[in-house]
Amino acid sequence: MSFRWLALMFCVFLLVSNNQLQAQNLPDSLAAEKQLSQRGEVYFSFPAKIITENPIEFDALSRYISIDSKDDQYVYAYANLYTFHRFLELGLSYHVLTPPSLQCDTTRWKTILKSISDWNYYPSYSEYITLMQQFAGKYPQLCTLDTIGTSVDGRLLLFAHIRSRKSLPDDRPSFMYTSTMHGDETVGYVLMLHLIDYLLQNYGTNTQVTNLVDSLDIWINPLANPDGTYAGGDASVAGATRFNANGVDLNRNYPDPVAGDHPDGNNWQPETKAFMDFASSHDFVVSANLHSGTEVVNYPWDTWQKRTADDAWWQYVSREYADTVHTYSPSGYFTDLNDGITDGYDWYWITGGRQDYMNYFHHDREFTLELSMVKKPDPSQLPSFWDYNYRSLLNYMKQALYGIRGKVTDSLTGTPLPAEVFISGHDTDNSEVYSDSVSGYYYRPIKSGTYDVTFSASGYVSKTYYGLTISDGKILKQNVKLAENANGISTNKRVRIHIYPNPTLSIIKIQGFTKVALVSVYNLNGIKIIEKSITPDELIDVSTLKPGIYLVRVYTTTISMTKKLVIR
Ligand SMILES: [Zn+2]
C-alpha cells in the first residue's frame, strides 16, 4: 500500500480530529490537507521565535519534521501526514506554502530547445535512464553503469563509475558525488549528468580531466531519490517532492553518531539501505551530496556542536569551493552564511544526515553542497549554474588525491594489511582512516602541517612516524611495513572497534570483528556487570544499567581492547 493512498485516508481524520487547527487556521489547514493528499508531504513555515523561546521543544520538533531552512523570522519545513499531525499538537501558528517544485512556470519549459551539449533541460525519467546507458555505451573504456538498488516504487538507483584502464588498477582513492536525495532539489541532478558527460568527453584532451580519470575511482549518482523527483509522473520533474514515496526525508534516515540507528523513527528506506550497502563495500575518501534551497558549502558535523578533527581542512576546501565559484559567477551568488561556507551545526542541527553518516561510520570526508537558492530553477539557467560551479566540483575531486597516502604491508611476506592510520593529538570522532584490506592502500587528506602518524594492524607491532610534514595540494607518500607480533595479539589500544550508539539509552552494537567476540561491561569500580559472547550482528541490551560511564572490554582471537561507554 503506497504512502499516498494512506495519506488520503487519514487526511479526513486529521481535519475532523484537530479542532484547534480548524478554529485557528482554516485556509492553511485546507491547503495542508490538499498537499498531503496529493503529494504525501506539506511545505510550511512557522515563526522562528520558538528557537530562542523554547529550544527544547524546537529540538524535539526537529527530530520528526524536516527542517529545510530558517531565517530571522521563519523556519521552513516539510512534514508527512503523521509528522504534521504531531506538529499540530503543539498548537503553533503556521503557514502552508507553495511547494518549491510548483513555484516555477513549467509551461514555459516547453519552449526551451533541449540541448544535450548545453544540458539546459530536466530529463524525463526514461530520458535519464537512456542518458546513463549512453554514457556507458559510448565510453566503454571509461564508464560503466552500476545499479545499487531500486526505490520504493521500483525506479533505479544508478551510479556512473568512471575510471580509465590506465595506471595501477588499485592505487586510486575513491571519490563520490550524489545528488537530489531531496527529490525537489533538481539543479544538482542535471549538473551531475553534465559532469559525467564533461569527464567522458574531455578525457584525453583536457589535462585536468585526464588526470582525474586516470588517478581517481569516480562514482557519480545524479539522482538519489527518483521517486521524489518524479512524484508527478515519469514525464517531468514538475510536482517533485522532497520525500521518497513513503513520505520519508532520506537525509534524516541514516544512522547518526549521537542519535543512533533510526534518529527519525522510520525504518531504513530502500534507498537508504541500498546506499548503506554501497558505502560499506567502497572505501570513499572524499564525497559530497548535492542539494538546493540555499547557496553554501555545509561541512560536518550536523549533529554535534563540536568541530571535526579536520575543521581547518574543511574550512580550507569549503573556502576554495566558494571562492572559485565567486571568481566565475555574478556577485551575490553563493554568498549565504559565511560568504558561502558554514559548519553544519552552526547553520541548523539535524540528525540522520548522509554527511555525518559518511564521515563518522565510513571515515570518509563528505560535505553537503547547496547549489541554488531556488530549488528547481528554470532549466534555461542550468548552463549558468554549471559554469559557476564546474571548476569547484573538479577541484574538490582533486582533494581525494592529496595528503598522506601509501601502502601498508607485512614486513616479511609483503602481503597488504588492513591497518589503522591514526594521527596522535589530532584524530577524534572516527576521523582516522584505514588501509584497504585487499590492496593495503590508504589515503589521508589533511590540512598542511606536521603530524605524528601511527600505523597499527591486528596481530602486528604498531609503527609511528614522527613529524611527517605535508603542504596543501601536495601528496606525501609513506609506505609502511609492519612486523608480526610474536604473541599474535595486538598491543595497540586503538584497533578498528566501534561501539554505537555511544552514548546510548538501551542497546549497543559492536563493529569491527568478524566471527565472535567476548564482551564484558565493567563499572568504574571494575565490577563486571555484563558478559556475553556475540556475533557481529548481535545487539547487547544495556537498558538495565544506570546512566553513567562504563568500560567495555572486547576480546577476540586477535583483539583485546577496552572502550568507554556512556549510558544516558
Ligand atoms: Zn536538501
Residue 421 CA to ligand 1 center (angstroms) comes to 33
Compute the distance between CA of residue 94 and CA of residue 61 in angstroms, rounded to an integer. 14
Cβ within 8 Å of residue 267, ≥6 positions away? none
Residue 181 CA to ligand 1 center (angstroms) comes to 7
Tens digit of each residue's pLDDT (9 = 90 or more) over 54-67: 988 998 898 889 99
More confident residue, 14 or 345: 345
Angstrom CA distances, 70 to 77, 242, 274, 372, 435, stand at 9, 17, 31, 15, 40
Compute the distance between CA of residue 173 and CA of residue 200 in angstroms, rounded to an integer. 19
Sheet holding 507-511, edge to edge: 498-500, 507-511, 539-541
- The whole-number average pLDDT for the span 521-532 is 81
Tens digit of each residue's pLDDT (9 = 90 or more) over 255-287: 999 999 999 999 999 999 999 999 998 999 999
Is-contact 166 158, C-beta < 8 A? no
Compute the distance between CA of residue 221 and CA of residue 192 in angstroms, rounded to an integer. 7
Cβ within 8 Å of residue 126, ≥6 positions away? 234
Question: Coil, strand or helix: which one is 228?
Answer: helix
Residue 375 CA to ligand 1 center (angstroms) comes to 9
Compute the distance between CA of residue 478 and CA of residue 406 in angstroms, rounded to an integer. 5
Tens digit of each residue's pLDDT (9 = 90 or more) over 449-460: 999 999 999 889
Residue 297 CA to ligand 1 center (angstroms) comes to 12
- Provide, rounded to the nearest whole percent, the portion of the chain with pLDDT above 70: 91
pTM of the model: 0.83
Compute the distance between CA of residue 313 and CA of residue 361 in angstroms, rounded to an integer. 19
Site of grid cell 593495503: 440
Give me the pLDDT at residue 70, please.
86
Measured N-to-C along each axis, helices 26-39 and 3-17 cross at an angle, to the nearest 10 degrees, of 160
CA 103 centroid distance within chain: 27
Cβ within 8 Å of residue 441, ≥6 positions away? 170, 171, 405, 406, 407, 416, 435
Residue 95 CA to ligand 1 center (angstroms) comes to 20
302 membership: H or E segment, kind and range: none
Tens digit of each residue's pLDDT (9 = 90 or more) over 283-317: 999 999 999 999 999 999 999 999 999 999 999 99
Closest CA relative to residue 130, chosen from 120, 138, 141: 138
Compute the distance between CA of residue 438 and CA of residue 347 in angstroms, rounded to an integer. 39
CA 275 centroid distance within chain: 10
Tens digit of each residue's pLDDT (9 = 90 or more) over 140-164: 999 999 999 999 999 999 999 999 9
Out of 370, 432, 484, 531, the active site residue is 370
CA 71 centroid distance within chain: 24
Residue 99 CA to ligand 1 center (angstroms) comes to 13
Is residue 17 predicted with pLDDT exceeding 50? no
More confident residue, 104 or 242: 242
- Strand pairing partners for 410? 482
For residue 416, the 8-state DSSP code is B
Residue 281 CA to ligand 1 center (angstroms) comes to 25
Q: Mean pLDDT of all residues in the chain?
A: 89
The 3-state secondary structure of 25-48 reads CHHHHHHHHHHHHHHCCEEEEEEC
370 is catalytic: yes
- Strand pairing partners for 539? 509
For residue 108, the 8-state DSSP code is G
Residue 399 CA to ligand 1 center (angstroms) comes to 23
Tens digit of each residue's pLDDT (9 = 90 or more) over 21-52: 333 445 899 999 999 999 999 999 999 999 99
Retrieve residue 370's grid coordinates. Answer: 547547496
Compute the distance between CA of residue 367 and CA of residue 488 in angstroms, rounded to an integer. 39
511 membership: H or E segment, kind and range: strand 507-511
Phi, psi of 46 (to 5 degrees): -145, 160
Phi, psi of 336 (to 5 degrees): -70, 155
Residue 289 CA to ligand 1 center (angstroms) comes to 9
Give me the pLDDT at residue 115, please.
85
Pinpoint the alpha helices (H) of 230-375: 270-280, 311-327, 336-339, 344-347, 354-362
Closest CA relative to residue 218, chosen from 239, 246, 190, 198: 198
Tens digit of each residue's pLDDT (9 = 90 or more) over 163-196: 998 766 678 999 999 999 999 999 999 999 999 9
Residue 200 CA to ligand 1 center (angstroms) comes to 27
Ranges 76-85, 336-345, 467-476, 536-545: which has the least confidence: 536-545
Retrieve residue 41's grid coordinates. Answer: 508531504
Tens digit of each residue's pLDDT (9 = 90 or more) over 235-249: 999 999 999 999 999
| List of domains in the chain | 3-97 (3.30.70), 114-398 (3.40.630.10), 403-482 (2.60.40.1120), 498-567 (2.60.40.3080)
Question: Coil, strand or helix: which one is 366?
Answer: strand
Measured N-to-C along each axis, helices 382-398 and 207-215 cross at an angle, to the nearest 10 degrees, of 50
Compute the distance between CA of residue 565 and CA of residue 508 in angstroms, rounded to an integer. 9
Is-contact 187 383, C-beta < 8 A? no
- The whole-number average pLDDT for the span 87-103 is 91
Residue 466 CA to ligand 1 center (angstroms) comes to 42
Residue 163 CA to ligand 1 center (angstroms) comes to 28
Cβ within 8 Å of residue 359, ≥6 positions away? 300, 301, 308, 365, 366, 430, 431
Residue 293 CA to ligand 1 center (angstroms) comes to 7
Residue 312 CA to ligand 1 center (angstroms) comes to 25
Q: How confident is the model at residue 495 (pLDDT cuts 50, 70, 90)?
A: low
DSSP-based helix, strand, coil % in the chain, nearest 5:
30, 25, 40
Is-contact 50 74, C-beta < 8 A? no
Following CA atoms 386, 389, 394, 396 in sequence, which dihedral angle do they give, to the nearest 10 degrees? -150
Question: Coil, strand or helix: which one is 233?
Answer: coil
Compute the distance between CA of residue 194 and CA of residue 174 in angstroms, rounded to an integer. 20
Is-contact 203 161, C-beta < 8 A? no
Angstrom CA distances, 254 to 186, 224, 266, stand at 21, 14, 10
Is-contact 302 351, C-beta < 8 A? yes
- Strand pairing partners for 563? 552
